[in-house]
Amino acid sequence: MERRDVGPHDVLIEIKYSGICHSDIHNARSDWGPSAYPLVPGHEIAGIVAQVGSEVTRYAVGDRVGVGCMVDSCRECANCLKGEEQYCLKGNTLTYGSVDKDGTLTQGGYSTHVVVTDGFVLRQGADQGPGAFGQPDVLGGVGVGEAEFAQHPIAGSEGTSGVHQRQRESCCPETRPVRGGRDPQAVLEGPAHGFR
129: number of CA atoms within 13 Å, CB side? 3
Contacts 24+ apart (CB under 8 A), 23-29: 23/140, 24/108, 24/110, 27/96, 27/97
**What's the Cα-to-Cα distance from 81 to each of 70, 73, 87, 133, 136, rounded to whole Å?**
16, 11, 11, 27, 22
Strands 93-94 and 70-72: antiparallel
* Model confidence at 137: pLDDT above 80: no
pLDDT digits (tens, 9 = 90+) for 152-192: 444 444 444 444 444 445 555 655 555 556 665 555 544 44
Query: CA triplet 39, 73, 137: central angle to 5 degrees?
Result: 75
Architecture of domain 10-123: Alpha-Beta Complex (3.90)
- Assessment of whether the complete model's pTM goes beyond 0.85: no
Domain limits, CATH 3.90.180.10, in the chain: 10-123
Phi and psi at residue 114, to the nearest 5°:
-145, 145
Rounded to whole angstroms, how far apart are CA atoms 119 and 100? 15
pLDDT for 14-26, tens place per residue? 999 999 899 999 9
For residues 121 and 11, is the Cβ–Cβ distance under 8 A? yes
